Chains A and B, each alone.
Chain A
Amino acid sequence: MQAELQSLIDQVRAAHAAGTPLRLQGGDSKSFWVCAQAERTLDIRPYRGVVDYEPSELVLTVRAGTPLSEVEALLGAQGQMLAFEPPHYGPNATLGGTIACGLSGPRRAAAGSARDFVLGVRLIDGLGRDLSFGGQVIKNVAGFDLSRLMAGAFGSLGVITEVSLKVLPRPPFELTLEWALQEGVALERMNQWGGQPLPVSATSFHNGRLRARLSGAEVAVRAAQARLGGEVVADGAAWWSALREQSAACFQTDKPLWRLAVKSSAPPLGLSGALLTEWGGALRWLASEHAASQVQKAACDAGGHALLLRGGHPAAPCFGGLDPILAQIHRRLKHAFDPKGILNPGLPGNF
């Protein structure tokens, strides 16, 4: 694998020397969403495979080009999982792309985000230097935390080549419950549950139905079920999986698909096209033709921000703006990692 790594390093060095921008590509599963404009592509897939996995350490180190499905199968065989339940958006998603995009699925509100599970990264910066930050241990405060910074940086600060992640045991038992409720009441209930010692691992509200997944020891889940009531959903697992991939029927729309991360207790946003709410109220999906500025403003007023995931005008940016001081820090950070701006130019957003 040394040759594959060296090849990636050589390509970045050559691009740096020539000042040629590179489009970083793993399984190409998320290019429908974010895609840097660059003539040359740096294909990460050849650098793949597991570097180290010891289930009792709860730590997995893999090369960035490893398919996400392979990682999940490996963990599943040991009764473990990536607790942030990342979406794949396609059969070829890689672990490197998953971390670079920083996306998390239904378990996010209960277990944490992609960033929360990053323990260390190896990366190639914009100068073509092979660097390692963080490590393979759960507690580590030596130096700035540049590894967690890579989650959600969309490859614009460095080419992730290896990632160490904390992994967790898969819960022995899961059950999905459902109630028919109004949106406002459902939001209230999700927030109340968050403040109670309940084994709720995911929630959703769609089309007048509130759903909650309970995870843990069967006795604990049954006790919570007795307390919460509701109807058991027969195909619960399929629902959370469809939600995780946004492949559920309600996401099949021609309208632009927005993802609004807001304060969990924010009241209904009042925008037409509301599709679905998850993460205990902290993530609201919207399919609507509203102007980007209007959606951004609604998200901002609710304490968060909005990302355009799909559809809309080709020129409409996926990302909202930043305040001028933060934008300046972003520019300087980008310059620190990638002085010639060759790595995924334009991501994440213009600042």
Chain B
Amino acid sequence: MTAPISQAQIASALSRWLAPGSVLTNPEDVRPFETDGLSAYRQLPYVVVLPRTEAEVQAVLRYCHEAHIPVVARGSGTGLSGGALPHKDGVLLSLSRFMRILEIDPQARVARVQPGVRNLAISEAVAPYGLYYAPDPSSQIACSIGGNVAENSGGVHCLKYGLTVHNLVKVRAVTMAGEVVELGSDGLDAAGYDLMALITGSEGLLAVVTEVTVKLLPKPQTAKAILAAFDDVEKAGNAVANIIAAGIIPAGLEMMDGPATRAAEAFVHADYPLSAEAVLLCESDGTPEEVSDEMARMQALLESSGAIEIRYSQDEAQRLKFWAGRKAAFPAVGRLSPDYYCIDGTIPRRSLGSVLKRIYELGREYGLEVANVFHAGDGNLHPLILFDAAKPGEFERTEAFAGKILELCVEVGGTITGEHGVGVEKINQMCVQFTPDELSLFHAVKAAFDPEGLLNPGKAVPTLHRCAEMGRMHVHHNELPHPELPRF
């Protein structure tokens, strides 16, 4: 066993390859990196590095590889599952200086960008060509494209336009050993295994992304929205099924339950019907002909599905107003309670009614309020549990409630995470969704890229040991007893 390497040693070694000011160790300098969008988890990084070039990323990784130092890559830090939570003995590799859009090719409809470029900045840069980048996670003004690749981020238009994985052309990345790999191609498929699909959503465990080429789509000429209110969530769920069964793929299809609707209305005054037990937002985009055809068909289906009120967006301002409430649903719920906890399960749409009923029941059992927003088009459910962290035991009760909801999602044939990732937050529920054989294959896949297990260790895939212990041990704050024991 060699003695641990000191911060000063790491910093001085890395300073040889990096520009001055690119290596941080002072607690006040590294503090901003202690958490990502899931602020319940905090850890001061040992060392933070801010490289500017791919060669610098290679140098950092080569050094860490040789010295056996864990590395956690970080984009904008907006992730919601603790995927960028620092390692206490590791290097936090921030890609925030990779801010350049390298190439826009309007003819081939692709843009080659550095990983730190913000999602929305891509659409803004290509707007003059009538193009945009389709995946639009709610955090798109801040989140980075490199982080989107790591998480396979979604958004509200996934059903029609796909996830990040469907909108990538090529990815350059550096392995833990410091080698550059190029995945995908300028064509529509590439030779060999589809490693680009594999690295997308791999939560920073396989390689560090240094360049992303994204696919651009023509901006739809027009978009319109319908707001429909229901007196029953199950009726709203059936309306969604009826729209899709009729052969319509709406650009957006979102649902809020009564508590979420009332919270949103109180916050942004979007003119939502307060008596509704569920509100559906249906968006249609495309050519004017397509949109008016689709809107008419959707209206008829909503009526026959029992909507108690239907409103059309008369103009762009009203469409945006319809969406304002939905987009502000999280902060709106946040106003009702000192804290809220957001869950990210996905369920087959047909289970929506029964799952919501069970969530309300569980809420009563745990004595906690819950509001639900639902990407109804793709089955991605975001229950928001209201709690007060200052009250002793309430966070623990919330986590237990959240765990139950995720297990319920798996039980009905869904998944514990639709778009936020596993990170550290849902690592215990991975033991529920996957068998030990499946988890061991995940570890073997990681080892194919990173045999020493140094990239973002402890995230996304639990050790078998951890799952075995989970079965008979209460897990408090995601900390196992005797954390000093090696569990690999």
CB of A263 within 8 A of CB of B248, answer: no
A286 within 8 A of B: no
CB of B194 within 8 A of CB of A149, answer: yes
CB of B289 within 8 A of CB of A335, answer: no
Q: Give Cα distance in the complex from A322 to B287, angstroms.
A: 43
CB of B175 within 8 A of CB of A325, answer: yes
Q: Give Cα distance in the complex from A192 to B377, angstroms.
A: 30
CB of A304 within 8 A of CB of B444, answer: no
Tell me how far the C-beta of A146 lies from the nearest C-beta in chain B, rounded to whole angstroms.
Answer: 7
Interface residues of B in 69-125 (CB under 8 A from A): 105-109
B191 within 8 A of A: yes
Name 23 A/B residue pairs within 8 A (Cβ), A-sorted.
A54-B348, A55-B245, A56-B244, A102-B194, A116-B166, A135-B414, A141-B420, A141-B422, A142-B417, A143-B422, A143-B438, A146-B441, A149-B197, A151-B194, A153-B193, A198-B287, A283-B188, A302-B186, A326-B181, A329-B175, A333-B193, A337-B444, A349-B192
CB of A304 within 8 A of CB of B185, answer: yes
Q: Give Cα distance in the complex from A245 to B375, angstroms.
A: 37
When the two chains form the complex, which single residue of B158, B205, B290, B379 contacts A220, counting CB atoms closer than 8 Å? B290
Tell me how far the C-beta of A351 lies from the nearest C-beta in chain B, rounded to whole angstroms.
Answer: 7
Count of chain A residues near B, Cβ 8 A: 89
Closest 6 CB pairs of A and B: A303-B186, A304-B187, A169-B247, A336-B444, A261-B187, A332-B448
Q: Give Cα distance in the complex from A194 to B129, angstroms.
A: 12
Binds B, one of A65-73, A86-94, A124-132, A205-213: A124-132
B461 within 8 A of A: yes
* Chain B residues with CB under 8 A of A131: 435, 437-438, 441
Tell me how far the C-beta of A199 lies from the nearest C-beta in chain B, rounded to whole angstroms.
Answer: 7
* Chain B residues with CB under 8 A of A199: 286-287, 290
* Chain A residues with CB under 8 A of B299: none
> With A145-B201, A261-B188, A325-B179 known to touch, is A139 a contact of B193 (CB < 8 Å)?
no
Interface residues of B in 419-436 (CB under 8 A from A): 419-422, 426, 430, 433-435
Q: Give Cα distance in the complex from A329 to B195, angstroms.
A: 9
CB of A115 within 8 A of CB of B197, answer: yes
Binds B, one of A11-19, A32-40, A106-114, A236-244: A106-114
Q: Give Cα distance in the complex from A222 to B289, angstroms.
A: 9
> With A102-B189, A142-B416 known to touch, is A112 a contact of B162 (CB < 8 Å)?
yes
CB of A145 within 8 A of CB of B165, answer: yes
> With A54-B348, A133-B438, A197-B219 known to touch, is A304 a contact of B186 (CB < 8 Å)?
yes
Tell me how far the C-beta of B240 lies from the nearest C-beta in chain A, rounded to whole angstroms.
Answer: 8
B interface, CB within 8 angstroms of A? 105-109, 129-131, 151-152, 154, 158-159, 162-163, 165-166, 175, 179-182, 185-195, 197-198, 200-202, 205-206, 216, 218-221, 241-242, 244-245, 247-249, 286-287, 289-290, 292-294, 346-350, 375, 377-380, 413-422, 426, 430, 433-435, 437-438, 441-442, 444-449, 451, 460-461
A59 within 8 A of B: yes
* Chain A residues with CB under 8 A of B420: 141
> With A170-B247, A332-B447 known to touch, is A264 a contact of B108 (CB < 8 Å)?
yes
Indicate the member of B107, B437, B441 with the most A CB atoms within 10 Å: B441
Among residues of A, the one whose C-beta sits closest to the C-beta of B160 is: A168
Tell me how far the C-beta of A294 lies from the nearest C-beta in chain B, rounded to whole angstroms.
Answer: 16
* Chain A residues with CB under 8 A of B445: 144, 146, 333, 336
CB of A197 within 8 A of CB of B448, answer: no
A176-207 interface mask toward B, CB cutoff 8 Å, 1 = contact, 0 = none?
00000000000000011011111100000000
CB of A139 within 8 A of CB of B348, answer: no
Q: Give Cα distance in the complex from A5 to B117, angstroms.
A: 47
Q: Give Cα distance in the complex from A56 to B305, angstroms.
A: 14
* Chain A residues with CB under 8 A of B129: 195
A317-350 interface mask toward B, CB cutoff 8 Å, 1 = contact, 0 = none?
0011111011001101101110000000000110
A149-183 interface mask toward B, CB cutoff 8 Å, 1 = contact, 0 = none?
10111000100000000001110100000000000
A262 within 8 A of B: yes
Tell me how far the C-beta of A309 lies from the nearest C-beta in chain B, rounded to whole angstroms.
Answer: 13
> With A195-B107, A348-B193 known to touch, is A139 a contact of B289 (CB < 8 Å)?
no
Among residues of B, the one whose C-beta sits closest to the C-beta of A52 is: B413
Tell me how far the C-beta of A1 lies from the nearest C-beta in chain B, rounded to whole angstroms.
Answer: 18
A216 within 8 A of B: yes
Among residues of A, the one whose C-beta sits closest to the C-beta of B285 is: A197
Tell me how far the C-beta of B160 lies from the nearest C-beta in chain A, rounded to whole angstroms.
Answer: 10
When the two chains form the complex, which single residue of B158, B162, B185, B188 contacts A108, counting CB atoms closer than 8 Å? B188
Q: Given contact pairs A135-B413, A145-B200, enumerate 4 new A-B contacts (beta carbons under 8 Å).
A: A56-B242, A143-B461, A264-B108, A303-B185
* Chain B residues with CB under 8 A of A25: none
When the two chains form the complex, which single residue of B180, B193, B415, B441 contacts A140, counting CB atoms closer than 8 Å? B415
CB of A152 within 8 A of CB of B422, answer: no
Tell me how far the C-beta of B423 lies from the nearest C-beta in chain A, rounded to whole angstroms.
Answer: 10
A217 within 8 A of B: yes
CB of B107 within 8 A of CB of A191, answer: yes
Q: Give Cα distance in the complex from A69 to B189, angstroms.
A: 25
Q: Give Cα distance in the complex from A299 to B188, angstroms.
A: 12
A224 within 8 A of B: yes
* Chain B residues with CB under 8 A of A348: 192-193
* Chain B residues with CB under 8 A of A79: 247
Q: Give Cα distance in the complex from A102 to B192, angstroms.
A: 11
Q: Give Cα distance in the complex from A262 to B181, angstroms.
A: 19
CB of B442 within 8 A of CB of A148, answer: no
Q: Give Cα distance in the complex from A225 to B221, angstroms.
A: 17
Tell me how far the C-beta of A273 lies from the nearest C-beta in chain B, rounded to whole angstroms.
Answer: 19
CB of B348 within 8 A of CB of A136, answer: yes
Q: Give Cα distance in the complex from A141 to B150, angstroms.
A: 10
Q: Give Cα distance in the complex from A217 to B106, angstroms.
A: 27
* Chain A residues with CB under 8 A of B219: 197
CB of A137 within 8 A of CB of B348, answer: yes
> With A116-B166, A141-B420, A149-B197 known to touch, is A197 a contact of B247 (CB < 8 Å)?
no
Q: Give Cα distance in the complex from A57 to B206, angstroms.
A: 32
Q: Give Cα distance in the complex from A263 to B213, angstroms.
A: 12
> With A140-B415, A220-B293 known to touch, is A115 a contact of B247 (CB < 8 Å)?
no
Indicate the member of A125, A198, A333 with the most B CB atoms within 10 Å: A333
Q: Give Cα distance in the complex from A157 to B414, angstroms.
A: 25
CB of A57 within 8 A of CB of B437, answer: no
Tell me how far the C-beta of B344 lies from the nearest C-beta in chain A, rounded to whole angstroms.
Answer: 9
